[in-house]
Amino acid sequence: MWKIIRCGILQISRIFTIAAQEEEGKAAIYLVIFHLSFVLFMWSYWKTIFTPPVCPSKEFFLSQSDEEHYEKEERPEVQQEILKRVAKELPVYTMTSTKLIRYCEKCQLIKPDRCHHCSVCNKCVLKMDHHCPWVNNCVGFSNYKYFLLFLFYSLVYCILVTTTVLEYFIKFWTTNLRNTRAQFHVLFLFFVATMFFISILSLFCYHLWLVGKNRTTIEAFRAPVFLNGPDKNGFSLGWSKNWRQVFGDEKKYWLFPIFTSLGDGVHFPTRLMMDKEHVTGTNHHEHTRSSGSTQNFSVGPLSESKNFLLATGSEQDVSSGMKNHVTVSIES
Ligand SMILES: [Zn+2]
Ligand SMILES: [Zn+2]
């Protein structure tokens, strides 16, 4: 009889030990995944907040004499002539909706393509996407990849919290959970994580769509204007190339908040250029490739990037480029 009782007790204690070991194993796995996603989330958030937006380089500012001339001049057409003369040597392919040179009166510079003046930061920001109050920073060329990763890891973090709490959340409603203060934590965690997940998911999906189209939020609302008119797909190079523009060529770095975006924030390959690439045999993509992780935003020699649209005597090039442009538009 005692033997049977002893065997029973041993059996029960063995079951409890296995259960405890399983719980410990589960807790260990949860802890590792939690901290991994937490570190990546904080890293991306940190980089999004503390990476300063990049402004155009000095080549885009008017010289002192041009600035004085521009300020004194009251006739808008003469002012435009001054800007056109300066812009001729700059890699500028877009213009205002009224086909004028994009000029920032506040910063007194010719805006590079995709550059916009942020009224909060009070400066022109390269490839400006939007000013984000959540990170208190401008999201643009220098930190767009970090911003996307910040959204992605926020989602991972929320999913992790929701799924690990779900078991206890169900227990709470089936009244299997002991009546402790943990009940409040379980409820709070579950609802907050689910709420954030739903709201961030829509924003993240929208930005994934923008990356696929190679558009900024600003360009999604107002199409960039090229010589042949507004073209919302003007910077789109195809789905795969568009992704590489933001995340870089090496996929092993895509999930880490380190700078791998292509380009220098000033030269952007357009569909028009891609066509020109075919016509002339030059590889513009190589020219716009950035120095990668060295994060060098300096503008390359401007003579190499002579303004295709504004240069005089290139009418034939423009028209042939436009012809090809139309062809691609129809194809895509
Ligand atoms: Zn400005
Ligand atoms: Zn800003």
Q: What is the whole-number distance in angstroms between the Cα of residue 131 and the centre of ligand 2?
A: 4
Reported as a single tens digit per residue, the pLDDT across 206-215 is 999 999 999 9
Rounded to a whole number, what is the distance in angstroms from the first to the last CA of the chain? 84
Q: Of all residues in the chain, what percent carry a pLDDT higher than 90?
A: 54
Q: What is the whole-number distance in angstroms between the Cα of residue 257 and the centre of ligand 2?
A: 20
- For position 56, what pLDDT does the model report? 95
Mean pLDDT in the chain? 79
Examine the pLDDT at 329 and tell me if it is beyond 60: no
Scan for tokens 């405890």, then name that residue. 20
Q: The dihedral of CA 164, 165, 170, 172: what is its sign?
A: positive
Give the pTM. 0.75
299: number of Cβ within 10 Å: 18
| Mean of pLDDT values over 84-104 | 91
29: number of Cβ within 10 Å: 11
Across 152-156, 234-238, 327-331, least confident range: 327-331
Instruction: State both tokens at 185.
Output: 């934590």
| Mean of pLDDT values over 152-163 | 94
Examine the pLDDT at 280 and tell me if it is beyond 50: no
Q: What is the whole-number distance in angstroms between the Cα of residue 226 and the centre of ligand 1?
A: 20
- Among all residues, which ones are annotated catalytic? 132
Examine the pLDDT at 253 and tell me if it is beyond 60: yes
- For position 186, what pLDDT does the model report? 84
Query: H or E stretch including 124?
Result: strand 123-125
Q: What is the whole-number distance in angstroms between the Cα of residue 123 and the centre of ligand 1?
A: 4
- Provide the residue ranges of all domains of the chain, joining segments of one domain with +: 1-54+142-280, 58-134
Give ion ligand 1 contacts, CB < 5 A: 104, 106-107, 117, 124
